[in-house]
Chain A
Amino acid sequence: MNRHLNLLFTAIGNIIRNKVRSIVLILCLLAVLFPFITALSISEGIKFQSLISVEEGADIYVSSDYFGSNAPISLDYLERFRKMDGVTKVFPRIVGRTYFANRLATIVGIFPENPPKSIRLAQGRMFSEKGDVIVGEGLAKEFRLQPGVRFSLSINPSKLLKVAGIFDSDATIWSANLILMSFEDASEFFKMKGKATDILIYTRPGYATILSQEIQETASASNPDQLETSLRVQDKTLVKRYFQRGFNYKAGVFTALFTVAFALAIPALLIVSGFGQTERRKEIGVIKATGWQTQEVMEMVALENLIISLTSAPLAILLAMAWLKWFNGAFIAKFFIAEIGLMAPFPVPSRFLPLPCLFAFLFAIVLTMVGSLYSTWKTATVPPVEAMR
């Protein structure tokens, strides 16, 4: 045990003695690990918000299917769905998009009775009168919107809207550029009376799959003379599949890019860790001449790598955390969340889970070991006189 402890202290001594080499190595590891940890934590943050979106969403989403794409669905279906066994709640929803000046906004129209009492707004109140809207904090900040401001949009200039409230920035990234209004206002705004983007069905537990099959079969078996459009039915199981596939790192281009970067980092570190190689060769030659075994030299270098990794990985985690939490991921978040610009208009979601942090440490140790063990072994196995030359 004492022998191992002595080797550990010698390794730390080496790190302190070769200051420049150690600092360069730690900086290289920080450059590799920082984007990796940042991306994983942003991914986990969005994944968390996305899961809430899936879990708190409806059990079944029904829309029309026009030429293979989703299309508006008639409100006539509402009563049909309400009568189905196992259905607890049915409501229509409108989700559309429009430009608010140069910023693309999501318009959502819901029934006024839907807003829960627990919803907290940064300013103002929930909509109560015709034309009232709640806007996202991103839009409000960019265009200096305050409760009471009236506006109309070119898609329907005759429809006058009034800002009643502003969403709190904590309410997910998707509320930042969102305009929420009543279902009636949204149908007038898009001039789509009697239609909804989709009908949301909430069911008793265990009914969703059976009901979605029933809706699909009923729609397929309807009389062809009635000219009823096909329906697209998506239940929670399917939505969960979207979620699982959407956040699977293997599918993301990010992973591919990082793998390339990682693959390039290994030879780069091989070169970097060869920084001061002549000095290292002499060192190994001297300690071998004083009676050290090759195994002991290897253990000392492995311990050096362990200490370097134990320094770099926590530093990268703390740096990523500070950057994301205090500076809201300025300049870097845009690489992982599309279309947000240099400064995100909402709090960039980031979650630092223990497992990705452990991966970061493992990455660091693999990189340093790959970069040094072979060259050390090669030096340690030659006669000391040759190594010291």
Chain B
Amino acid sequence: MGKKIRSYLFFLVVLIALTVLAIAWDQYSWKRIHPDQMVAFQRMVGGVGMGAISSPVWNIINFDPRLQPIDDSTLWPIPGGYSYGPDRTATVSYFEEIPVNQLILQRDPMDHLKK
């Protein structure tokens, strides 16, 4: 095994060890530092914000579907056009309306008489 090969192997081991340590440090920092302020803030406001956008631009559903679960961008009058909501670009979150069954079928009370 030549000197260059040994050096490359050493570099590789150091690189992998550094990466593992960096990931472990990141995990630790999230557990220890950040959550307390986030929890206090969200508890205070009753939960505000869910999506990858910092203010309710375009559609409120992108910011927080609890505030407005309606995706009104689909109603915009751009026939065959592009929908300009930020969730149509490359953001990492995308909230869509969850369909709620609002249909109530009722039997005609005169049905049995007709028969």
State the Cβ distance, B88 to closest chain A Cβ, in Å. Answer: 6
Question: Given the complex of chains A and B, what is the CA–CA distance between A53 and B94 in angstroms?
Answer: 16
Given A118, A173, A234, A352, which contacts B66 in the complex, CB threshold below 8 Å?
A234
Residue of A nearest to B23 (CB): A352
Q: Say if the beta carbon of A210 comes within 8 Å of chain B.
A: no
Residues of the B chain whose Cβ atoms lie less than 8 Å from the Cβ of A346: 54
**What is the 8 Å Cβ interface bit string for chain B, positions 65-97, against chain A (1 contact, 0 not)?**
111111010000000000000111111111110
Question: Given the complex of chains A and B, what is the CA–CA distance between A154 and B35 in angstroms?
Answer: 36
Given A54-B47, A177-B55, A242-B69, answer yes or no on A257-B90 (Cβ-Cβ < 8 Å).
yes
State the Cβ distance, A118 to closest chain B Cβ, in Å. Answer: 5
How many CB-defined contacts (below 8 Å) exist between A and B? 245
Contact B47–A118 (Cβ < 8 Å) = no
Given B16, B56, B90, B96, which contacts A314 in the complex, CB threshold below 8 Å?
B16
Given A47, A114, A168, A340, which contacts B54 in the complex, CB threshold below 8 Å?
A340
Q: Say if the beta carbon of A369 comes within 8 Å of chain B.
A: no
Contact A246–B51 (Cβ < 8 Å) = yes
Question: Given the complex of chains A and B, what is the CA–CA distance between A198 and B50 in angstroms?
Answer: 17
Q: Say if the beta carbon of A252 comes within 8 Å of chain B.
A: yes
Contact B86–A339 (Cβ < 8 Å) = yes
Residue of B nearest to A256 (CB): B90
Given A50-B50, A138-B54, answer yes or no on A336-B91 (Cβ-Cβ < 8 Å).
yes
Given A119-B37, A321-B22, answer yes or no on A253-B67 (Cβ-Cβ < 8 Å).
no
Given B42, B52, B72, which contacts A42 in the complex, CB threshold below 8 Å?
B52
Residues of the A chain whose Cβ atoms lie less than 8 Å from the Cβ of B95: 242, 245-246
Contact B47–A252 (Cβ < 8 Å) = no
Interface residues of A in 256-313 (CB under 8 A from B): 257, 307, 310-311
Residue of A nearest to B35 (CB): A52
Q: Say if the beta carbon of A211 comes within 8 Å of chain B.
A: no
Q: Which of A103-111, A143-151, A158-166 contacts B (4 or more CB under 8 A)?
A: A103-111
Given A42-B52, A108-B48, answer yes or no on A252-B91 (Cβ-Cβ < 8 Å).
yes
Q: Say if the beta carbon of A68 comes within 8 Å of chain B.
A: yes
Given A253-B87, A317-B23, A337-B91, answer yes or no on A95-B48 (Cβ-Cβ < 8 Å).
yes
State the Cβ distance, A358 to closest chain B Cβ, in Å. Answer: 10
Residues of the A chain whose Cβ atoms lie less than 8 Å from the Cβ of B54: 138, 173-174, 176-177, 337, 339-340, 345-346
Residue of B nearest to A44 (CB): B92
Given A46-B93, A252-B94, answer yes or no on A53-B16 (Cβ-Cβ < 8 Å).
no
Contact A253–B88 (Cβ < 8 Å) = yes
Residues of the B chain whose Cβ atoms lie less than 8 Å from the Cβ of A350: 26
Residues of the B chain whose Cβ atoms lie less than 8 Å from the Cβ of A197: 67
Contact B42–A53 (Cβ < 8 Å) = yes
Residue of B nearest to A97 (CB): B56
Residues of A within 8 A of B (CB): 9, 12-13, 15-16, 39, 42-43, 46-50, 52-58, 61, 68-70, 91, 93, 95, 97, 103-106, 108, 110, 114-116, 118-120, 138, 167-168, 170-178, 180, 197-198, 200, 232, 234, 238-239, 241-243, 245-248, 251-254, 257, 307, 310-311, 314-315, 317-318, 321, 335-340, 345-346, 350-354, 357
Cβ contacts A to B, 16 pairs, < 8 Å: A13-B4, A43-B92, A52-B35, A52-B39, A69-B72, A70-B70, A93-B45, A118-B40, A172-B42, A242-B98, A245-B94, A245-B98, A248-B94, A318-B19, A337-B52, A338-B91
In the A-B complex, the 10 residue pairs with the closest CB atoms: A57-B47, A174-B49, A338-B86, A43-B92, A56-B42, A314-B19, A171-B41, A246-B95, A177-B55, A338-B53
